[in-house]
């Protein structure tokens, strides 16, 4: 392995930090690395694996003003690239305006999600809640060959080089970016059309917008989706002809909100509402469907089946788990992050466009979330979901499940005690001949070895374990959202001697 330190950031976190989401598997990194020719610990790097795996991470540099929440951390993107049977690694902080300001001040300047806004030391900010730091630490996608990082509370889209993770600047959509509202995490790219579909939300009416950016990076559609009040949507889905937005009954308590406090409540007496809108539809084209109350953090996919729009995602049996007295103070405080406490399970909604009826059913008894699929099938009928299992009581992924939606079969792999993975992206094999013909890629935080690895699985044989295990330069923090970009869709990938040389880095 050929390693070089590209940069180091100064952390002001205390040496005796006891916050479980800033220590142990969540210990943040301060070093940015270049590593070429990654060492193969076991197996072999498949020669028909070609492209980059990108993963965002909440990686804080400074103590919060009062209370840290793991969604507050600064964005750091990890890249593992594969070409010609070799692999390289890069990691970089996302150079957000917030990171730049806090690096200069050497302290946190904005209030996090678990803090009252008035503790902030700055009077500006971002986010649906307003006055927050846009850490761009939630998700990462690739549109038109450029990686874009996002923030769950809505903010800028930061443009990153997908090989080096270097920040290139903010996305402007040729001047049309909705800067006041920003964009939520989980914009969706349709590989078939080159379009990117997105939403944003805020505390002001109409509370939600939906938009489309075309293959030329122009904002070609942007409509109001009026809601009864402020909501907290986190994800959306699309089919070949429709986009699906949501109004779910987990949102800020109105009484507390009137007094400036952002307290999330599950309103068990309200239905879940789903908006089905033609992809270039107007307000009057929206069809609303009502379903059982729940909260859905992530959808996997949607598609059309005759008159039905079918939507798959993770239904939460208990979106507001009570404090049951189990575990230490931290586990109780962060019980909302544990998949077992939320009772998250794969679920299917069927919206009949002809009758307006809704049918819904669980697709699995197993608790999973963070479902990924072969992205070439997004918006179309599909068969396989690759999802994460969670360590009970914690926001940590302890294994991987391949759900076969046709047979109901589940193929499970456990990372083992003390080993945690990230969202596992599906990489179609070069020359792939079927939906399941490819690899799954994830990054682990291995507390037993005090190391991190990149694991590659055969997507059709998850239970067999990784076909390849590569060592990263150091143990990285646990993290969640990821994506895969084929080499073929990345500019310069095949025009430089090595992908990492493409930018001279
Ligand atoms: Fe998410």
Compute the distance from residue 355 Cα to the ligand 1 centre, in Å: 32
Q: Could you tell me if residue 241 is inside a domain?
A: yes
Q: Could you tell me if residue 505 is inside a domain?
A: no
Q: Could you tell me if residue 218 is inside a domain?
A: yes
The residues near 11 (Cβ < 8 Å, ≥ 6 apart) are: 28, 30, 61, 62
Q: Is 186 annotated as a binding residue?
A: yes
Q: How far apart are CA 249 and CA 231, in angstroms?
A: 8
368 phi, psi to nearest 5 deg: -145, 165
pLDDT digits (tens, 9 = 90+) for 208-217: 999 999 999 9
Q: Could you tell me if residue 363 is inside a domain?
A: yes
Compute the distance from residue 6 Cα to the ligand 1 centre, in Å: 29
Q: Is 78 annotated as a binding residue?
A: no
Q: Could you tell me if residue 42 is inside a domain?
A: yes
Work out the burial of residue 431: count CB atoms within 10 Å of its CB; fewer than 13 is exposed, 13-18 middle, 19 or more buried.
exposed
Compute the distance from residue 68 Cα to the ligand 1 centre, in Å: 19
CATH no. for residue 399? 2.120.10.30
Compute the distance from residue 184 Cα to the ligand 1 centre, in Å: 10
Q: Could you tell me if residue 372 is inside a domain?
A: yes
Compute the distance from residue 337 Cα to the ligand 1 centre, in Å: 12
Q: How many domains does the chain have?
A: 1
Compute the distance from residue 366 Cα to the ligand 1 centre, in Å: 20
Q: How far apart are CA 13 and CA 168, in angstroms?
A: 28
Compute the distance from residue 201 Cα to the ligand 1 centre, in Å: 15
DSSP 27: P
Q: Is 267 annotated as a binding residue?
A: no
Pick out the chain residues at pLDDT < 70.
Answer: 491-505
Q: How far apart are CA 170 and CA 95, in angstroms?
A: 10
Compute the distance from residue 364 Cα to the ligand 1 centre, in Å: 20
Q: Is 209 annotated as a binding residue?
A: no
Q: What is the DSSP string of 321-346?
A: ----S-S-HHHHHTGGG-HHHHTEEE
Compute the distance from residue 390 Cα to the ligand 1 centre, in Å: 15
Compute the distance from residue 178 Cα to the ligand 1 centre, in Å: 21
Compute the distance from residue 297 Cα to the ligand 1 centre, in Å: 6
Compute the distance from residue 85 Cα to the ligand 1 centre, in Å: 31
Compute the distance from residue 480 Cα to the ligand 1 centre, in Å: 8
Q: Which domain holds residue 52?
A: 2-498
Provide the 10 A C-beta neighbour count for residue 234: 21
Compute the distance from residue 186 Cα to the ligand 1 centre, in Å: 7
Residue 402 near residue 413 (C-beta atoms within 8 A) = no
Residue 52 near residue 502 (C-beta atoms within 8 A) = no
Residue 278 near residue 244 (C-beta atoms within 8 A) = no
* 3-state secondary structure labels for all residues of 406-470: CCCCEEEEECCCCEEECCCEEEECCCCCCCCCEEEEEEEEECCCCEEEEEEEECCCHHHCCCEEE
Compute the distance from residue 482 Cα to the ligand 1 centre, in Å: 10
Q: Could you tell me if residue 242 is inside a domain?
A: yes
Compute the distance from residue 166 Cα to the ligand 1 centre, in Å: 22
Compute the distance from residue 152 Cα to the ligand 1 centre, in Å: 7
Compute the distance from residue 140 Cα to the ligand 1 centre, in Å: 10
Angle subtended at Cα 96 by Cα 4 and Cα 23, rounded to the nearest 5 degrees: 65
Q: How far apart are CA 25 and CA 396, in angstroms?
A: 8
Compute the distance from residue 288 Cα to the ligand 1 centre, in Å: 23
């Amino acid at each position: 392995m050929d390693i070089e330190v590209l940069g180091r950031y100064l952390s002001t976190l205390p040496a005796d930090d006891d916050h479980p989401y800033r220590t142990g598997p969540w210990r943040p990194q301060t070093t940015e690395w270049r590593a070429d020719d990654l060492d193969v610990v076991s197996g072999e790097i498949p020669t028909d694996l070609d492209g980059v795996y990108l993963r965002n991470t909440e990686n804080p540099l400074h103590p919060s003003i009062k209370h840290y929440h793991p969604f507050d951390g600064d964005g750091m993107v990890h890249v593992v690239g594969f070409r010609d049977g070799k692999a390289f690694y890069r990691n970089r902080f996302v150079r957000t305006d917030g990171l730049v300001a806090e690096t200069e001040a050497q302290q946190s300047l904005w209030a996090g999600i678990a803090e009252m806004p008035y503790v902030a030391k700055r009077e500006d900010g971002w986010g649906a809640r307003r006055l927050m730091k846009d850490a761009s630490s939630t998700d990462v996608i690739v549109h038109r060959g450029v990686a874009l990082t996002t923030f769950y509370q809505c903010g800028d889209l930061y443009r990153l080089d997908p090989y080096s993770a270097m920040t290139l600047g903010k996305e402007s959509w040729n001047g049309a970016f909705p800067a006041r509202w920003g964009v939520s995490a989980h914009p969706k790219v349709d590989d078939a059309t080159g379009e990117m579909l997105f939403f944003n939300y805020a505390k002001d009416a109409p509370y939600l917008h939906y938009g489309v950016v075309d293959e030329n990076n122009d904002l070609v559609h942007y409509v109001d989706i009026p809601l009864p009040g402020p909501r907290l949507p986190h994800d959306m889905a699309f089919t070949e002809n429709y986009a699906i937005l949501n109004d779910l009954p987990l949102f800020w308590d109105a009484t507390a909100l009137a007094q400036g406090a952002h307290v999330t409540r599950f309103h068990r007496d309200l239905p879940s509402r789903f908006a089905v809108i033609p992809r270039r539809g107007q307000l009057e084209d929206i069809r609303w469907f009502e379903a059982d109350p729940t909260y859905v953090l992530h959808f996997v996919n949607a598609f059309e089946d005759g008159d039905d729009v079918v939507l798959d995602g993770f239904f939460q049996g208990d979106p507001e788990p009570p404090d049951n007295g189990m575990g230490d103070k931290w586990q109780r405080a962060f019980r909302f992050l544990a998949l077992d406490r939320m009772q998250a399970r794969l679920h299917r909604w069927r919206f009949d466009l002809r009758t307006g009826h809704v049918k819904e059913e669980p697709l699995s008894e197993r608790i999973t979330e963070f479902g990924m699929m072969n992205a070439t099938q997004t918006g179309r009928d599909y068969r396989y979901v690759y999802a994460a299992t969670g360590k009970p009581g914690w926001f940590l992924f302890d294994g991987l499940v391949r759900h076969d939606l046709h047979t109901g079969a589940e193929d499970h792999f456990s990372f083992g005690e003390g080993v945690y993975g990230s969202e596992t992206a599906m990489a179609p094999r070069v020359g792939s001949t079927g939906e399941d013909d490819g690899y799954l890629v994830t990054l682990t935080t291995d507390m037993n070895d005090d190391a991190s690895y990149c694991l590659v699985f055969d997507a059709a044989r998850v239970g067999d374990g990784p076909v390849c295990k590569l060592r990263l330069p150091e143990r990285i923090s646990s993290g969640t959202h990821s994506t895969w970009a084929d080499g073929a869709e990345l500019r310069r990938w095949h025009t430089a001697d090595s992908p990492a040389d493409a930018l001279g880095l």
